[in-house]
Amino acid sequence: MKLIIGLGNPGKDYEQTRHNAGFWTLDQIAKGLNLEWRNSRVRNALYTKGVFNDIDILLAKPTTFMNLSGNAASALASYYKIKPTDILIVHDDMDLPCGAFSFSEGGKAAGHHGVESVYQHFPNSKIQRLRIGIGRSEHAEPGKIYVLKKPPASELKILNNTIVKAAIAIEDWVTNDIHIAMNNWNHNKKTA
């Protein structure tokens, strides 16, 4: 079984913010597979199970806030006995332009507190990630404010197209591995 965790913040106030790009991507996968979300209060996540090309997948959206995402990731991995090499974290990334996405293995959290939280729960593991580009503010706005804002319609259209492609790329990761997915999809670092 592969565990795919989308990072974001729960609640209506955050639903449409850039920081929830990980949630949006998992919602796209769940929609494509006709899956319904369930709540696990014990594991602090909304989750659903599905299959990509005969491989079981577990999709999860932590119901903790971003900075505590590692709690849910760790609880789910432990309960389902999933190795760190079978976990993919999907999250927003200001270092990639809006419309881009990129797989990575390990690497620095680059100030992303959700990624830092996951890393704390899986020390010395090369956690695999799919970074969804949200770009940076054109107005020198601090990152912590920018990520919690709703993107304008023009940017949202680009992000929605990116999310569709990212969902397809995740199927490639599930079916193959991180290195094949990187070869097949990391040319999308410019725009999707």
Q: Phi then psi for 62, rounded to 5 degrees? A: -55, 140
Q: In the annotation, is 19 catalytic?
A: yes
Q: Report how far residue 8's alpha carbon sits from residue 62's, in angstroms, rounded to the nearest whole number.
A: 7
Q: Are 57 and 32 in contact (CB under 8 A)?
A: no
Q: Report how far residue 140's alpha carbon sits from residue 163's, in angstroms, rounded to the nearest whole number.
A: 26
E strand residue ranges, the chain: 2-6, 38-40, 45-52, 55-62, 87-93, 101-105, 128-133
Which residues contact residue 100 at a Cβ distance below 8 angstroms, ignoring those fewer than 6 apart?
A: 133, 162, 188, 189, 190, 191, 192
β-strands 101-105, 45-52: how paired?
A: unpaired
Q: Are 159 and 134 in contact (CB under 8 A)?
A: yes
- Chain centroid to CA 9: 12
Residues known to be catalytic:
19
